[in-house]
Protein backbone atom coordinates (compact mmCIF):
# COMPACT_ATOMS: atom_id res chain seq x y z
CA UNK A 1 0.00 0.00 0.00
CA UNK A 2 1.14 3.54 -0.80
CA UNK A 3 2.64 5.29 2.30
CA UNK A 4 0.00 8.00 2.20
CA UNK A 5 -2.72 5.36 1.97
CA UNK A 6 -1.21 3.72 5.06
CA UNK A 7 -1.39 7.08 6.78
CA UNK A 8 -5.05 7.51 5.86
CA UNK A 9 -5.77 4.00 7.14
CA UNK A 10 -3.99 4.67 10.47
CA UNK A 11 -4.44 8.41 11.12
CA UNK A 12 -3.16 8.24 14.72
CA UNK A 13 0.24 6.77 13.97
CA UNK A 14 3.40 8.67 14.76
CA UNK A 15 4.28 8.44 11.06
CA UNK A 16 1.15 10.32 10.00
CA UNK A 17 1.64 12.92 12.74
CA UNK A 18 5.10 13.61 11.38
CA UNK A 19 3.83 13.84 7.80
CA UNK A 20 1.03 16.14 8.93
CA UNK A 21 3.51 18.50 10.57
CA UNK A 22 5.54 18.59 7.37
CA UNK A 23 2.47 19.18 5.20
CA UNK A 24 1.37 22.06 7.41
CA UNK A 25 4.35 24.00 6.09
CA UNK A 26 3.28 23.52 2.47
CA UNK A 27 1.36 26.15 0.48
CA UNK A 28 -2.37 25.39 1.01
CA UNK A 29 -2.99 25.09 -2.75
CA UNK A 30 -0.16 22.59 -3.10
CA UNK A 31 -1.42 20.72 -0.04
CA UNK A 32 -4.92 20.45 -1.51
CA UNK A 33 -3.58 19.05 -4.75
CA UNK A 34 -1.35 16.55 -2.93
CA UNK A 35 -4.20 15.33 -0.76
CA UNK A 36 -6.49 14.98 -3.76
CA UNK A 37 -3.87 12.91 -5.59
CA UNK A 38 -3.38 10.77 -2.49
CA UNK A 39 -7.11 10.16 -2.16
CA UNK A 40 -7.40 9.23 -5.83
CA UNK A 41 -4.33 7.00 -5.59
CA UNK A 42 -5.78 5.18 -2.58
CA UNK A 43 -9.05 4.66 -4.44
CA UNK A 44 -7.10 2.85 -7.17
CA UNK A 45 -4.55 0.58 -5.46
CA UNK A 46 -3.13 -0.68 -8.77
CA UNK A 47 -2.25 2.84 -9.96
CA UNK A 48 1.10 2.78 -11.79
CA UNK A 49 3.85 5.34 -11.37
CA UNK A 50 3.09 6.61 -14.87
CA UNK A 51 -0.61 7.04 -14.03
CA UNK A 52 0.32 8.82 -10.79
CA UNK A 53 2.38 11.30 -12.82
CA UNK A 54 -0.56 11.77 -15.17
CA UNK A 55 -2.92 12.55 -12.28
CA UNK A 56 -0.74 15.51 -11.32
CA UNK A 57 -1.78 17.17 -14.61
CA UNK A 58 -5.48 16.73 -13.88
CA UNK A 59 -7.40 19.39 -11.97
CA UNK A 60 -8.09 17.94 -8.47
CA UNK A 61 -11.91 18.24 -8.61
CA UNK A 62 -11.90 16.48 -11.97
CA UNK A 63 -9.51 13.77 -10.75
CA UNK A 64 -11.79 13.03 -7.82
CA UNK A 65 -14.88 12.98 -10.06
CA UNK A 66 -13.53 10.28 -12.36
CA UNK A 67 -11.58 8.33 -9.73
CA UNK A 68 -14.31 5.78 -9.15
CA UNK A 69 -15.25 5.44 -12.80
CA UNK A 70 -17.64 7.16 -15.17
CA UNK A 71 -17.11 9.91 -17.72
CA UNK A 72 -16.70 13.64 -17.30
CA UNK A 73 -16.21 16.67 -19.51
CA UNK A 74 -12.64 17.93 -19.43
CA UNK A 75 -10.52 20.59 -21.11
CA UNK A 76 -7.24 19.30 -22.55
CA UNK A 77 -4.91 22.32 -22.53
CA UNK A 78 -1.83 21.88 -24.70
CA UNK A 79 1.69 22.97 -23.83
CA UNK A 80 2.22 25.11 -26.89
CA UNK A 81 0.19 28.29 -26.93
CA UNK A 82 0.54 30.78 -29.76
CA UNK A 83 3.15 33.51 -29.40
CA UNK A 84 1.15 36.68 -29.99
CA UNK A 85 3.83 39.17 -29.01
CA UNK A 86 4.29 40.29 -32.61
CA UNK A 87 0.81 41.82 -32.63
CA UNK A 88 1.98 44.63 -30.35
CA UNK A 89 4.15 46.05 -33.14
CA UNK A 90 1.36 46.26 -35.70
CA UNK A 91 -0.19 49.70 -36.26
CA UNK A 92 -3.89 48.94 -36.67
CA UNK A 93 -6.49 46.92 -34.83
CA UNK A 94 -7.37 45.05 -38.02
CA UNK A 95 -3.77 43.98 -38.52
CA UNK A 96 -3.51 42.91 -34.89
CA UNK A 97 -6.70 40.86 -35.18
CA UNK A 98 -5.64 39.16 -38.39
CA UNK A 99 -2.19 38.38 -37.00
CA UNK A 100 -3.60 36.95 -33.77
CA UNK A 101 -6.20 34.85 -35.58
CA UNK A 102 -3.66 33.41 -38.01
CA UNK A 103 -1.19 32.60 -35.22
CA UNK A 104 -3.84 30.93 -33.07
CA UNK A 105 -5.19 28.83 -35.92
CA UNK A 106 -1.74 27.69 -37.05
CA UNK A 107 -0.74 26.46 -33.60
CA UNK A 108 -4.09 24.81 -32.92
CA UNK A 109 -4.22 22.95 -36.25
CA UNK A 110 -0.63 21.75 -36.01
CA UNK A 111 -0.50 20.68 -32.38
CA UNK A 112 -4.03 19.32 -31.97
CA UNK A 113 -3.91 17.04 -35.03
CA UNK A 114 -2.39 13.96 -33.30
CA UNK A 115 -4.79 14.17 -30.36
CA UNK A 116 -7.80 14.68 -32.60
CA UNK A 117 -6.78 11.60 -34.59
CA UNK A 118 -6.57 9.54 -31.39
CA UNK A 119 -9.94 10.81 -30.19
CA UNK A 120 -11.60 10.02 -33.49
CA UNK A 121 -10.15 6.51 -33.50
CA UNK A 122 -11.42 5.89 -29.95
CA UNK A 123 -14.83 7.38 -30.62
CA UNK A 124 -14.36 10.01 -27.91
CA UNK A 125 -16.54 13.14 -28.44
CA UNK A 126 -14.51 16.33 -28.64
CA UNK A 127 -14.62 20.01 -29.56
CA UNK A 128 -11.58 22.03 -30.60
CA UNK A 129 -10.81 25.61 -29.59
CA UNK A 130 -8.13 27.99 -30.79
CA UNK A 131 -8.27 31.18 -28.69
CA UNK A 132 -6.90 28.86 -26.04
CA UNK A 133 -5.11 25.88 -27.60
CA UNK A 134 -7.48 23.39 -26.04
CA UNK A 135 -9.78 20.44 -26.76
CA UNK A 136 -12.93 19.63 -24.83
CA UNK A 137 -13.60 15.93 -24.38
CA UNK A 138 -16.12 13.70 -22.67
CA UNK A 139 -13.89 10.90 -21.44
CA UNK A 140 -13.40 8.19 -18.84
CA UNK A 141 -10.80 8.04 -16.09
CA UNK A 142 -8.46 5.80 -18.09
CA UNK A 143 -8.84 7.93 -21.21
CA UNK A 144 -7.99 11.07 -19.23
CA UNK A 145 -4.95 9.33 -17.75
CA UNK A 146 -3.82 8.44 -21.25
CA UNK A 147 -4.33 11.99 -22.49
CA UNK A 148 -2.54 13.43 -19.46
CA UNK A 149 0.39 11.13 -20.20
CA UNK A 150 0.99 12.73 -23.60
CA UNK A 151 3.96 15.09 -23.77
CA UNK A 152 2.05 17.82 -25.63
CA UNK A 153 -0.57 18.10 -22.87
CA UNK A 154 0.14 20.75 -20.26
CA UNK A 155 -2.84 20.13 -17.99
CA UNK A 156 -6.41 18.88 -17.93
CA UNK A 157 -8.97 21.26 -16.44
CA UNK A 158 -12.52 20.56 -15.37
CA UNK A 159 -15.44 21.93 -17.36
CA UNK A 160 -18.04 22.43 -14.62
CA UNK A 161 -21.43 24.02 -15.13
CA UNK A 162 -21.16 26.91 -12.71
CA UNK A 163 -23.76 29.35 -11.47
CA UNK A 164 -22.81 32.96 -12.02
CA UNK A 165 -23.81 35.51 -9.41
CA UNK A 166 -25.90 37.74 -11.68
CA UNK A 167 -29.20 39.43 -10.74
CA UNK A 168 -32.24 37.16 -11.10
CA UNK A 169 -35.26 38.60 -12.91
CA UNK A 170 -38.56 39.18 -11.10
CA UNK A 171 -40.73 37.50 -13.70
CA UNK A 172 -43.97 38.12 -11.80
CA UNK A 173 -43.46 41.87 -11.97
CA UNK A 174 -42.62 41.63 -15.66
CA UNK A 175 -45.67 39.54 -16.52
CA UNK A 176 -48.08 41.88 -14.79
CA UNK A 177 -46.37 45.12 -15.70
CA UNK A 178 -47.70 46.60 -12.46
CA UNK A 179 -44.47 46.78 -10.47
CA UNK A 180 -43.43 50.39 -9.86
CA UNK A 181 -39.99 49.55 -11.19
CA UNK A 182 -41.27 48.43 -14.60
CA UNK A 183 -41.79 50.87 -17.47
CA UNK A 184 -43.21 50.30 -20.93
CA UNK A 185 -41.34 51.45 -23.99
CA UNK A 186 -43.79 54.33 -24.35
CA UNK A 187 -43.06 55.86 -20.94
CA UNK A 188 -40.23 58.29 -21.62
CA UNK A 189 -37.64 58.36 -18.84
CA UNK A 190 -35.09 60.63 -20.46
CA UNK A 191 -31.40 60.06 -19.80
CA UNK A 192 -30.87 57.73 -16.85
CA UNK A 193 -28.88 59.04 -13.89
CA UNK A 194 -25.98 56.63 -14.30
CA UNK A 195 -25.39 57.70 -17.91
CA UNK A 196 -25.27 61.32 -16.74
CA UNK A 197 -23.00 60.42 -13.81
CA UNK A 198 -20.18 59.33 -16.13
CA UNK A 199 -20.59 62.53 -18.23
CA UNK A 200 -21.72 60.76 -21.41
CA UNK A 201 -24.33 63.39 -22.46
CA UNK A 202 -21.63 66.08 -22.50
CA UNK A 203 -19.59 63.89 -24.83
CA UNK A 204 -22.62 63.40 -27.08
CA UNK A 205 -22.90 67.18 -27.27
CA UNK A 206 -19.38 67.27 -28.69
CA UNK A 207 -20.53 65.00 -31.51
CA UNK A 208 -19.32 61.64 -30.18
CA UNK A 209 -21.87 58.88 -29.59
CA UNK A 210 -19.69 55.90 -30.49
CA UNK A 211 -20.38 55.96 -34.22
CA UNK A 212 -18.22 53.50 -36.14
CA UNK A 213 -17.40 51.43 -33.06
CA UNK A 214 -18.74 47.92 -32.36
CA UNK A 215 -19.36 46.69 -28.81
CA UNK A 216 -20.06 43.09 -27.84
CA UNK A 217 -21.65 41.30 -24.93
CA UNK A 218 -20.84 37.76 -23.79
CA UNK A 219 -23.78 37.05 -21.53
CA UNK A 220 -27.18 35.35 -21.28
CA UNK A 221 -28.13 36.54 -24.78
CA UNK A 222 -29.97 39.59 -26.12
CA UNK A 223 -33.47 40.41 -27.30
CA UNK A 224 -32.19 41.92 -30.51
CA UNK A 225 -35.44 43.66 -31.49
CA UNK A 226 -36.07 45.45 -28.19
CA UNK A 227 -36.79 49.11 -29.11
CA UNK A 228 -33.74 50.21 -27.13
CA UNK A 229 -31.46 47.90 -29.14
CA UNK A 230 -32.89 47.09 -32.58
CA UNK A 231 -31.57 50.10 -34.47
CA UNK A 232 -28.13 49.59 -32.92
CA UNK A 233 -27.79 45.92 -33.90
CA UNK A 234 -25.14 45.42 -36.57
CA UNK A 235 -27.34 42.76 -38.15
CA UNK A 236 -30.21 45.19 -38.80
CA UNK A 237 -29.99 47.48 -41.83
CA UNK A 238 -33.27 49.28 -41.23
CA UNK A 239 -35.27 46.89 -43.38
CA UNK A 240 -34.01 43.33 -42.96
CA UNK A 241 -32.02 41.41 -40.39
CA UNK A 242 -28.97 39.18 -40.88
CA UNK A 243 -27.56 37.39 -37.84
CA UNK A 244 -24.47 36.03 -39.64
CA UNK A 245 -21.27 37.36 -38.04
CA UNK A 246 -23.37 39.16 -35.43
CA UNK A 247 -24.72 36.45 -33.12
CA UNK A 248 -23.65 33.10 -31.72
CA UNK A 249 -25.16 30.83 -29.08
CA UNK A 250 -22.53 28.72 -27.32
CA UNK A 251 -25.04 27.05 -24.99
CA UNK A 252 -26.71 23.73 -25.76
CA UNK A 253 -29.70 25.63 -27.19
CA UNK A 254 -27.64 26.82 -30.22
CA UNK A 255 -30.31 29.37 -31.14
CA UNK A 256 -29.79 30.82 -34.61
CA UNK A 257 -31.67 33.96 -33.58
CA UNK A 258 -30.64 36.19 -30.67
CA UNK A 259 -32.61 35.28 -27.54
CA UNK A 260 -32.32 36.11 -23.86
CA UNK A 261 -34.49 33.97 -21.56
CA UNK A 262 -32.69 35.29 -18.46
CA UNK A 263 -32.83 39.09 -19.27
CA UNK A 264 -29.35 39.92 -17.90
CA UNK A 265 -27.67 40.13 -21.31
CA UNK A 266 -30.34 42.43 -22.71
CA UNK A 267 -29.99 44.69 -19.68
CA UNK A 268 -26.20 44.96 -19.89
CA UNK A 269 -26.27 45.51 -23.66
CA UNK A 270 -28.76 48.34 -23.22
CA UNK A 271 -26.36 50.04 -20.84
CA UNK A 272 -23.81 50.14 -23.61
CA UNK A 273 -25.94 51.38 -26.52
CA UNK A 274 -29.60 51.61 -25.41
CA UNK A 275 -31.71 54.41 -26.91
CA UNK A 276 -35.18 53.75 -28.35
CA UNK A 277 -35.53 57.17 -29.97
CA UNK A 278 -38.64 58.05 -27.97
CA UNK A 279 -37.04 59.36 -24.81
CA UNK A 280 -35.56 56.31 -23.12
CA UNK A 281 -31.80 56.80 -23.10
CA UNK A 282 -30.18 54.11 -20.98
CA UNK A 283 -26.91 53.54 -22.88
CA UNK A 284 -23.59 55.35 -22.76
CA UNK A 285 -22.79 54.99 -26.49
CA UNK A 286 -26.06 55.17 -28.48
CA UNK A 287 -24.20 55.63 -31.76
CA UNK A 288 -22.28 52.36 -31.52
CA UNK A 289 -23.34 49.05 -33.05
CA UNK A 290 -23.54 45.80 -31.10
CA UNK A 291 -23.07 42.07 -31.60
CA UNK A 292 -23.34 39.31 -28.99
CA UNK A 293 -22.61 35.76 -27.94
CA UNK A 294 -24.67 33.76 -25.47
CA UNK A 295 -22.51 31.93 -22.91
CA UNK A 296 -25.03 31.32 -20.09
CA UNK A 297 -28.39 29.56 -19.97
CA UNK A 298 -31.74 30.78 -18.65
CA UNK A 299 -30.62 30.08 -15.07
CA UNK A 300 -27.39 32.06 -15.35
CA UNK A 301 -25.26 28.91 -15.60
CA UNK A 302 -22.30 28.51 -17.94
CA UNK A 303 -19.19 26.42 -18.46
CA UNK A 304 -15.60 27.46 -19.17
CA UNK A 305 -15.93 25.83 -22.60
CA UNK A 306 -18.98 27.97 -23.39
CA UNK A 307 -17.16 31.10 -22.25
CA UNK A 308 -14.19 30.25 -24.46
CA UNK A 309 -16.38 29.31 -27.44
CA UNK A 310 -17.83 32.82 -27.27
CA UNK A 311 -14.36 34.31 -27.31
CA UNK A 312 -13.46 32.13 -30.31
CA UNK A 313 -16.49 33.60 -32.08
CA UNK A 314 -15.89 37.20 -31.05
CA UNK A 315 -12.23 37.14 -32.09
CA UNK A 316 -13.33 36.13 -35.59
CA UNK A 317 -17.12 36.04 -36.07
CA UNK A 318 -18.70 33.56 -38.48
CA UNK A 319 -22.16 32.56 -39.80
CA UNK A 320 -24.18 29.95 -37.97
CA UNK A 321 -22.41 26.58 -37.92
CA UNK A 322 -19.75 27.77 -40.40
CA UNK A 323 -16.56 28.49 -38.40
CA UNK A 324 -14.53 27.93 -41.57
CA UNK A 325 -15.83 31.36 -42.68
CA UNK A 326 -14.52 33.15 -39.58
CA UNK A 327 -13.39 36.71 -40.28
CA UNK A 328 -11.35 38.73 -37.76
CA UNK A 329 -12.29 41.90 -39.64
CA UNK A 330 -15.79 41.46 -38.15
CA UNK A 331 -14.53 41.37 -34.55
CA UNK A 332 -15.89 43.94 -32.09
CA UNK A 333 -13.80 46.70 -30.55
CA UNK A 334 -14.72 46.01 -26.93
CA UNK A 335 -16.24 43.01 -25.14
CA UNK A 336 -18.23 43.39 -21.94
CA UNK A 337 -18.12 40.44 -19.53
CA UNK A 338 -20.52 40.77 -16.60
CA UNK A 339 -19.93 37.25 -15.22
CA UNK A 340 -17.38 35.21 -13.32
CA UNK A 341 -16.19 31.61 -13.08
CA UNK A 342 -16.19 30.47 -9.42
CA UNK A 343 -13.24 28.30 -8.48
CA UNK A 344 -15.32 26.89 -5.63
CA UNK A 345 -17.45 25.18 -8.27
CA UNK A 346 -14.49 23.65 -10.07
CA UNK A 347 -13.47 26.43 -12.46
CA UNK A 348 -9.67 26.40 -12.69
CA UNK A 349 -7.98 29.70 -11.81
CA UNK A 350 -5.99 29.72 -15.05
CA UNK A 351 -8.52 28.35 -17.55
CA UNK A 352 -9.49 31.81 -18.81
CA UNK A 353 -6.11 33.54 -18.40
CA UNK A 354 -4.91 32.81 -21.92
CA UNK A 355 -8.12 34.04 -23.52
CA UNK A 356 -8.01 37.42 -21.76
CA UNK A 357 -4.42 37.88 -22.91
CA UNK A 358 -5.45 36.87 -26.43
CA UNK A 359 -8.33 39.34 -26.60
CA UNK A 360 -6.07 42.17 -25.55
CA UNK A 361 -3.36 41.15 -28.03
CA UNK A 362 -5.98 41.39 -30.79
CA UNK A 363 -6.57 45.05 -29.90
CA UNK A 364 -9.97 44.37 -28.32
CA UNK A 365 -10.75 45.92 -24.93
CA UNK A 366 -11.73 43.23 -22.37
CA UNK A 367 -13.99 44.77 -19.71
CA UNK A 368 -14.88 42.60 -16.68
CA UNK A 369 -17.25 43.04 -13.74
CA UNK A 370 -15.13 43.00 -10.56
CA UNK A 371 -17.59 40.83 -8.60
CA UNK A 372 -20.26 41.23 -5.95
CA UNK A 373 -18.65 39.71 -2.86
CA UNK A 374 -17.57 42.89 -1.02
CA UNK A 375 -17.02 44.67 1.27
CA UNK A 376 -14.03 42.65 2.45
CA UNK A 377 -10.50 43.08 1.16
CA UNK A 378 -9.25 40.83 -1.65
CA UNK A 379 -12.75 39.89 -2.72
CA UNK A 380 -11.84 40.40 -6.37
CA UNK A 381 -10.96 36.73 -6.36
CA UNK A 382 -12.59 35.05 -9.37
CA UNK A 383 -11.63 34.71 -13.04
CA UNK A 384 -11.66 36.62 -15.31
CA UNK A 385 -11.66 39.85 -13.24
CA UNK A 386 -8.48 38.87 -11.39
CA UNK A 387 -6.22 38.87 -14.46
CA UNK A 388 -3.66 41.58 -15.17
CA UNK A 389 -4.92 42.12 -18.74
CA UNK A 390 -8.58 42.40 -17.72
CA UNK A 391 -10.03 45.86 -17.10
CA UNK A 392 -12.03 45.22 -13.93
CA UNK A 393 -14.84 47.52 -12.83
CA UNK A 394 -16.37 48.06 -9.39
CA UNK A 395 -19.74 49.68 -8.60
CA UNK A 396 -20.83 52.95 -6.98
CA UNK A 397 -24.16 54.44 -5.96
CA UNK A 398 -25.66 57.76 -7.06
CA UNK A 399 -23.67 59.59 -4.37
CA UNK A 400 -20.35 58.14 -5.60
CA UNK A 401 -20.08 55.89 -2.57
CA UNK A 402 -18.67 52.44 -3.16
CA UNK A 403 -21.49 49.90 -3.24
CA UNK A 404 -21.28 47.59 -0.24
CA UNK A 405 -21.39 44.53 -2.50
CA UNK A 406 -18.63 45.75 -4.84
CA UNK A 407 -15.60 43.47 -4.61
CA UNK A 408 -12.33 44.99 -3.46
CA UNK A 409 -8.70 44.24 -4.24
CA UNK A 410 -5.89 43.52 -4.12
CA UNK A 411 -5.86 40.13 -5.85
CA UNK A 412 -4.36 37.56 -3.51
CA UNK A 413 -5.87 34.32 -4.83
CA UNK A 414 -2.99 33.98 -7.30
CA UNK A 415 -0.38 35.54 -5.01
CA UNK A 416 0.05 38.60 -7.27
CA UNK A 417 -1.20 41.34 -4.94
CA UNK A 418 -2.17 43.32 -8.05
CA UNK A 419 -4.51 46.29 -7.93
CA UNK A 420 -8.15 45.65 -8.73
CA UNK A 421 -10.51 47.15 -9.73
CA UNK A 422 -8.98 49.70 -12.10
CA UNK A 423 -12.16 51.78 -12.30
CA UNK A 424 -15.63 52.12 -10.84
CA UNK A 425 -18.90 53.15 -12.47
CA UNK A 426 -22.52 53.44 -11.31
CA UNK A 427 -23.88 50.00 -10.44
CA UNK A 428 -26.58 50.41 -7.81
CA UNK A 429 -30.27 50.90 -8.71
CA UNK A 430 -29.72 51.06 -12.46
CA UNK A 431 -32.39 51.13 -15.18
CA UNK A 432 -32.09 49.13 -18.38
CA UNK A 433 -33.98 47.18 -21.03
CA UNK A 434 -35.39 43.74 -20.24
CA UNK A 435 -36.29 40.94 -22.63
CA UNK A 436 -40.01 41.03 -21.88
CA UNK A 437 -42.71 42.97 -23.73
CA UNK A 438 -40.22 45.70 -24.70
CA UNK A 439 -40.07 46.89 -21.11
CA UNK A 440 -37.45 48.53 -18.92
CA UNK A 441 -36.60 47.57 -15.36
CA UNK A 442 -35.21 49.82 -12.66
CA UNK A 443 -33.16 49.08 -9.58
CA UNK A 444 -30.85 46.37 -10.86
CA UNK A 445 -27.65 46.37 -8.83
CA UNK A 446 -24.24 44.77 -9.28
CA UNK A 447 -20.84 45.27 -10.82
CA UNK A 448 -22.62 43.64 -13.79
CA UNK A 449 -24.28 47.02 -14.25
CA UNK A 450 -21.06 49.02 -13.88
CA UNK A 451 -18.88 47.22 -16.42
CA UNK A 452 -21.07 47.95 -19.50
CA UNK A 453 -20.79 51.68 -18.84
CA UNK A 454 -17.01 51.43 -19.17
CA UNK A 455 -17.42 49.36 -22.34
CA UNK A 456 -19.70 52.03 -23.77
CA UNK A 457 -17.24 54.73 -22.74
CA UNK A 458 -14.53 53.03 -24.80
CA UNK A 459 -16.76 53.45 -27.86
CA UNK A 460 -17.07 57.18 -27.19
CA UNK A 461 -13.35 57.55 -26.61
CA UNK A 462 -12.37 55.63 -29.73
CA UNK A 463 -14.66 57.69 -31.94
CA UNK A 464 -13.25 60.87 -30.44
CA UNK A 465 -9.63 59.68 -30.63
CA UNK A 466 -9.30 57.21 -33.54
CA UNK A 467 -5.58 56.89 -32.95
CA UNK A 468 -6.41 54.90 -29.80
CA UNK A 469 -8.29 52.19 -31.71
CA UNK A 470 -6.57 48.86 -31.02
CA UNK A 471 -4.27 50.32 -28.37
CA UNK A 472 -5.78 48.83 -25.22
CA UNK A 473 -2.99 49.91 -22.88
CA UNK A 474 -3.15 53.58 -23.86
CA UNK A 475 -6.94 53.47 -23.79
CA UNK A 476 -6.86 52.24 -20.20
CA UNK A 477 -4.39 55.00 -19.35
CA UNK A 478 -6.78 57.64 -20.70
CA UNK A 479 -9.65 56.20 -18.67
CA UNK A 480 -7.77 55.77 -15.39
CA UNK A 481 -5.74 58.99 -15.46
CA UNK A 482 -8.84 61.05 -16.18
CA UNK A 483 -11.19 59.34 -13.74
CA UNK A 484 -12.81 61.30 -10.92
CA UNK A 485 -10.59 60.42 -7.98
CA UNK A 486 -12.34 58.91 -4.97
CA UNK A 487 -10.85 57.78 -1.67
CA UNK A 488 -11.91 55.22 0.89
CA UNK A 489 -11.64 54.68 4.62
CA UNK A 490 -10.70 51.08 3.89
CA UNK A 491 -7.07 50.04 3.52
CA UNK A 492 -6.34 46.69 1.89
CA UNK A 493 -2.93 45.19 1.47
CA UNK A 494 -0.37 47.80 0.44
CA UNK A 495 -3.03 50.18 -0.91
CA UNK A 496 -4.07 52.86 1.57
CA UNK A 497 -7.68 53.94 1.23
CA UNK A 498 -6.75 57.61 1.19
CA UNK A 499 -4.38 57.11 -1.75
CA UNK A 500 -4.98 56.98 -5.48
CA UNK A 501 -5.32 54.29 -6.62
CA UNK A 502 -6.99 52.31 -3.85
CA UNK A 503 -8.65 48.92 -3.72
CA UNK A 504 -12.24 50.17 -3.46
CA UNK A 505 -12.35 52.67 -6.33
CA UNK A 506 -9.18 51.86 -8.24
CA UNK A 507 -8.18 55.08 -9.99
CA UNK A 508 -11.67 56.46 -9.54
CA UNK A 509 -15.09 56.96 -11.12
CA UNK A 510 -15.35 56.79 -14.90
CA UNK A 511 -15.35 60.32 -16.36
CA UNK A 512 -15.58 59.93 -20.11
CA UNK A 513 -15.83 63.69 -20.76
CA UNK A 514 -12.48 64.33 -19.13
CA UNK A 515 -10.92 61.41 -21.02
CA UNK A 516 -12.23 62.67 -24.37
CA UNK A 517 -11.02 66.22 -23.66
CA UNK A 518 -7.58 65.11 -22.49
CA UNK A 519 -4.75 66.01 -24.89
Spatial contact of 347 and 163, defined as CB atoms under 8 Å apart: no
* 324-349 average pLDDT score: 91
pTM beyond 0.85: the answer is yes
What is the predicted pLDDT for the residue at 126?
97
pLDDT above 90 (res 169): no
Pick from 265, 233, 514, 216: nearest CA to 364 = 216
338 is annotated as an active-site residue: no
* 113-136 average pLDDT score: 96
What is the predicted pLDDT for the residue at 184?
59
CA triplet 106, 110, 115: central angle to 5 degrees?
A: 135
More confident: 170 or 348: 348
The residue count for the chain: 519
Burial class (CB in 10 A: 0-12, 13-18, 19+), 103: buried
pLDDT above 60 (res 486): yes
What is the predicted pLDDT for the residue at 13?
34
Helices (H), 274-425: 304-315, 353-361
What is the predicted pLDDT for the residue at 398?
97
Written as one string, the DSSP assignment of 192-207 is -HHHHHTTHHHHHHTT
Spatial contact of 195 and 282, defined as CB atoms under 8 Å apart: yes
- 33-85: pLDDT as tens digits: 444 545 444 444 455 666 666 678 998 889 888 888 889 999 999 999 999 99
Written as one string, the DSSP assignment of 122-147 is HT--EEEETTTTEEEEEEEHHHHHHH
CA triplet 366, 467, 519: central angle to 5 degrees?
A: 100
448 is annotated as an active-site residue: yes
**Burial letters for 248-274: b for 16+ Cβ neighbours within 10 Å, e otherwise?**
bbbbeeebeebbbbbbbbbbbbbbbbb
Residues β-bridged to residue 247: 292
DSSP-derived letter for residue 331 is -
Residues β-bridged to residue 393: 369, 423
Q: How far apart are the first and last CA of the chain?
A: 71
What is the predicted pLDDT for the residue at 46?
53
Q: Is 492 helix (H, G, I), strand (E, B) or coil?
A: strand
Task: For domain 180-517, say whether CATH 3.40.50.200 is its number.
Answer: yes
Tell me the CA distances in angstroms from 300 to 66, 338, 386, 428, 439, one per residue in order. 26, 11, 20, 20, 20
What is the predicted pLDDT for the residue at 348?
80
pLDDT above 70 (res 89): yes
**How far, in Å, CA of 345 to CA of 163, rounded?**
8
The catalytically annotated residue of 54, 131, 157, 219 is: 219
The catalytically annotated residue of 54, 338, 448, 488 is: 448
Q: Report CA Rg, the chain.
A: 24
| CATH domain 70-159 topology | Alpha-Beta Plaits (3.30.70)
Tell me the CA distances in angstroms from 226 to 46, 267, 507, one per residue in order. 60, 10, 35
DSSP-derived letter for residue 74 is E
| Cβ neighbours of residue 138 closer than 8 Å, sequence gap 6 or more | 71, 72, 73, 74, 124, 125, 126
Which of 1-5, 150-154, 451-455 has the lowest average pLDDT?
A: 1-5
Spatial contact of 23 and 30, defined as CB atoms under 8 Å apart: no
Which of 12-21, 284-293, 340-349, 424-433 has the lowest average pLDDT?
A: 12-21
**How far, in Å, CA of 489 to CA of 99, rounded?**
46
CB neighbourhood size of 6 (10 A): 13
Mean pLDDT (the chain) is 89
Backbone torsions φ then ψ of 371, nearest 5 degrees: 120, 160
What is the predicted pLDDT for the residue at 175?
46
**How far, in Å, CA of 244 to CA of 37, rounded?**
46
**Long-range contacts of 316-319, Cβ-Cβ distance < 8 Å, separation of 24 or more:** 316/97, 316/101, 317/245, 317/246, 317/248, 317/291, 318/244, 318/245, 318/248, 319/244, 319/245
pLDDT grade for 181, boundaries at 50, 70 and 90? low
Task: Provide the residue ranges of all domains of the chain, joining segments of one domain with +.
Answer: 70-159, 180-517
Tell me the CA distances in angstroms from 162 to 61, 344, 348, 371, one per residue in order. 13, 9, 11, 15
Residues β-bridged to residue 301: 163
Pick from 99, 65, 70: nearest CA to 82 = 99
Specify the pairing of strand 334-337 against strand 134-140.
Answer: unpaired
Spatial contact of 18 and 6, defined as CB atoms under 8 Å apart: no
Spatial contact of 227 and 276, defined as CB atoms under 8 Å apart: yes
Specify the pairing of strand 162-163 against strand 301-302.
Answer: antiparallel
The catalytically annotated residue of 61, 226, 232, 264 is: 264
264 is annotated as an active-site residue: yes
Amino acid sequence: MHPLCTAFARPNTAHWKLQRLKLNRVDPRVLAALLMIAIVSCAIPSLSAQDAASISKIEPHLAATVASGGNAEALIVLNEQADLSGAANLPTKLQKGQYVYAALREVAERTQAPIRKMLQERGIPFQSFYSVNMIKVNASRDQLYELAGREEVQRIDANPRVHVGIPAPNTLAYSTGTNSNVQTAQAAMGITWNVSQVKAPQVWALGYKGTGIVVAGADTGVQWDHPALKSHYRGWNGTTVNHSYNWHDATSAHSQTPVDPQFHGTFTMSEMVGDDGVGNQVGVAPGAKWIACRNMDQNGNGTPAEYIECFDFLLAPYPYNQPQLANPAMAPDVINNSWDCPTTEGCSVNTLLQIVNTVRAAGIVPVMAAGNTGPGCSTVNLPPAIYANAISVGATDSYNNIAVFSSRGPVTVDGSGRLKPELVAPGQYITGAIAYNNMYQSYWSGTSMAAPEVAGAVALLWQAKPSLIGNVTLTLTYLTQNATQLTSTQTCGNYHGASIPNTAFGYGLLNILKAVQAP
